[in-house]
């Protein structure tokens, strides 16, 4: 009995201490409060008086993907402004994606935004959408098939061109031997990025396949590669979350290689500023979501189509230490 009572007392004391500490120890920088201030500045209300249309966005994103979260955010904010009821679903399996497009057709939505990572799988169901008179816009991947499948416009980055920009930038930085880290075996866009970089890079470049869903194994694989070949002087990762991991691997292997990456996130911006990373290639995911919804709205409202039958490119934008500072607050907000 007495033991129980002391137990209760200890727990109570700990709770009191934690509460006290959290009340007394307020942070004057960062945290939730700073985020709320930033949010208040960017609150969304419809700015138009068009009817409340429903637009569905179907992507090939996996669960918990940073990049697609930003795309979704852009789409959401455009939807709020254009008075749109915005529906978002995603699945990394082609069959399921086709199923979701069918769901959208069943619901008779007023517009569909779709990413064509696996174009052939969506060919038939998109033909159905077009036949049902639903305007379709493709985003992010599938620029080659977009027009043939009857989409109004494609918004995204040409992966090959983005890769070429990386190769050119590496040349300017005097690099000789690079490793391209692919974190998703089976992703055609990733293959194109590395192929593009190889094309313009005057040194040699090797592909390294890692298991993106398992960070420790990613680090181990990069480390092993650097230990096996000390002459590597550049590592290119294809996603922002993998850049800090590559930096860790480089330090552990005692290598002098420069780490560069595709896409941005908070830690990439920080590492760019501190010089731990060389450069990042941004394809402005926010813009992909935002423009897709906005262009569907324009088509519904005014029958406008952008791009003249060609893809509308949102990248590549090379971000270095100078620009990183400026972008940091937007990245923190989750919109870059």
Partner 1 sequence: MSAAAPVQGRDERLAPTSTLRKLLARPELGSVVGAVAVFVFFSIAAPTFLQASSLSTILYSASTIGIMAAPVALLMIGGEFDLSAGVMVTTSALVSSMFSYQMTANVWVGVGVSLLVTLAIGFFNGFMLTRTKLPSFIITLGTFLMLTGLNLGFTKLISGTVSTKTIADMEGFSSARALFASQWTIGSVTLKVTVLWWFAIVAVATWILLRTRAGNWIFAVGGGADAARATGVPVVKTRIGLYMGVALCAWISGQHILFSFDVVQSGEGVGNEFLYIIAAVIGGCLMTGGYGSAIGSAVGAFIFGMTSNGIVYAQWNPDWFKFFLGAMLLLATLLNAWVRKRAEATK
Task: State the residues that interact with partner 1 by CB under 8 A.
Answer: 63, 87-90, 93-95, 98-100, 102-103, 105-108, 118-121, 123-124, 184-188, 191
- CB nearer to partner 1: pick between 57 and 247: 57
C-alpha–C-alpha distance, residues 275 and 272, integer Å: 5
Cβ pair 102, 125 in contact under 8 A = yes
**Least distance between partner 1 and beta carbon 265 (Å):** 18
Q: Which residues contact 241 (CB under 8 A, 6 or more apart)?
A: 66, 215, 265
**Least distance between partner 1 and beta carbon 293 (Å):** 16
- CB nearer to partner 1: pick between 293 and 319: 293
C-alpha–C-alpha distance, residues 204 and 179, integer Å: 9
Q: 305-321 burial, b for 16+ CB within 10 Å, e for fewer? A: eebeeebbbbbbbbbee
Cβ-based burial of 228 (10 A; exposed 0-12, middle 13-18, buried ≥19): exposed
- CB nearer to partner 1: pick between 125 and 327: 125
**Least distance between partner 1 and beta carbon 241 (Å):** 18
**Least distance between partner 1 and beta carbon 65 (Å):** 11
**Least distance between partner 1 and beta carbon 99 (Å):** 6
**Least distance between partner 1 and beta carbon 228 (Å):** 21
* H-only helix segments in 173-214: 188-200
- CB nearer to partner 1: pick between 120 and 229: 120
- CB nearer to partner 1: pick between 62 and 150: 62
- CB nearer to partner 1: pick between 197 and 277: 197
Q: 148-187 burial, b for 16+ CB within 10 Å, e for fewer? A: ebebbbbbbbbbbebbbbbbbbbeeeebebbbbbbbbeeb
């Amino acid at each position: 009995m007495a033991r129980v009572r002391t137990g209760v007392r200890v727990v109570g004391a700990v709770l009191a201490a934690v509460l006290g500490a959290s009340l007394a120890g307020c942070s004057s920088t960062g945290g939730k409060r700073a985020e709320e201030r930033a949010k208040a500045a960017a609150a969304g209300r419809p700015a138009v008086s068009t009817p409340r249309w429903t637009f569905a966005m179907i992507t090939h994103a996996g669960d918990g993907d940073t990049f697609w979260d930003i795309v979704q955010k852009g789409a959401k904010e455009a939807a709020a402004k254009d008075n749109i009821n915005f529906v978002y679903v995603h699945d990394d399996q082609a069959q399921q994606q086709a199923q979701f497009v069918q769901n959208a057709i069943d619901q008779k939505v007023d517009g569909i935004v779709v990413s064509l990572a696996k174009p052939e799988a969506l060919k038939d169901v998109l033909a159905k959408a077009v036949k049902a008179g639903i305007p379709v816009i493709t985003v992010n991947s599938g620029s080659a098939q977009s027009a043939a499948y009857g989409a109004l416009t494609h918004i995204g980055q040409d992966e090959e061109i983005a890769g070429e920009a990386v190769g050119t930038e590496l040349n300017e930085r005097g690099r000789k031997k690079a490793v391209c880290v692919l974190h998703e075996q089976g992703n055609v866009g990733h293959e194109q990025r590395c192929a593009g970089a190889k094309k313009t890079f005057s040194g040699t470049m090797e592909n390294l396949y890692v298991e993106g869903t398992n960070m420790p194994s990613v680090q181990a694989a990069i480390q092993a590669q650097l230990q096996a070949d000390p002459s590597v002087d550049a590592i290119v990762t294809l996603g922002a979350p993998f850049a800090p991991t590559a930096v860790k691997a480089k330090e552990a292997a005692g290598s002098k290689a420069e780490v560069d990456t595709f896409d941005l996130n908070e830690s990439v911006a920080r590492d760019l500023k501190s010089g731990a990373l060389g450069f990042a290639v941004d394809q402005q995911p926010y813009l992909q979501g935002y423009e897709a919804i906005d262009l569907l709205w324009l088509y519904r409202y005014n029958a406008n189509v952008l791009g003249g039958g060609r893809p509308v490119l949102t990248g590549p934008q090379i971000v270095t230490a100078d620009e990183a500072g400026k972008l940091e607050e937007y990245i923190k907000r989750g919109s870059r």
